[in-house]
Amino acid sequence: MPFSRDFIELSCRKGVLRFGSFVTKAGRVSPYFFNAGLFDDGGSFSDLCGFYAQAILESGVAFDMLFGPAYKGIPLVAGTAIRLAGEGVNVPFAFNRKEAKDHGEGGTLIGAPLAGRVLILDDVISAGTSVRESVTVIRAHEAEPAGVVIALDRMERGQGRVSAVQEVEETYGIPVVAVATLEDLIAYLADTPELEANLAGVQAYRDAYGTHDAIR
């Protein structure tokens, strides 16, 4: 998708996507690192949420509302709802807090009541913990998860034969939509002279730890 390349370009420019030597949670030495928390100004974050909105609309996934798991999903869900409204798709959204509030409105949920088909927004899927917790919350309110939208699919095996993203799809029977995948990153590096020196390392890492089924 054209927006996938634009997203990767923005990520590199903002330092969200960095190249070097980084140790992952799985103990692997990765040649790149992605930190969505560095979309830390109004312009770049608005662009990020615009990419989420484009990915959602082009995916064709049917949904009635958006849900953002605490903490990174909170600004994502609000910003993406704004960008979707700008495209003529005005949907309610909600997010949760980690700790229950015992005064005021109380509880752990803020925003619209969870109902219908709920699309979960997060930055990445690592161990799938955030998705599992989100699905539990959504179903507890008699709503149904419609899918998950993330920024980058690393297309990297988890503990088994498939990636954390594929595990989510298989476990919950819902689609995962990514703004960009590792395949998109490799293609970008291949035709960006100032970054091409990182291509061999990323390809070698993919050969060692990757899966080869991109998600959309």
Active-site residue set: 101, 103
Hey, how many other C-beta atoms are within 10 angstroms of the C-beta on 216?
16
Hey, how many other C-beta atoms are within 10 angstroms of the C-beta on 136?
10
One DSSP character per residue, 73-128 reads HHHHHHHHHHHHHHTT----EEEEEEEEE-STT-EEEEESPP-SEEEEE-S--SSS
Residue at token pair 């960095």: 18
52 burial (CB, 10 Å; 0-12 / 13-18 / 19+) is: buried
How far is Cα 151 from Cα 154, in angstroms, rounded to an integer? 10
- Token digits for 48? 């990020």
N-to-C CA span, the chain: 10
Q: What angle do CA 46, 50, 54 make, to 5 degrees?
A: 175
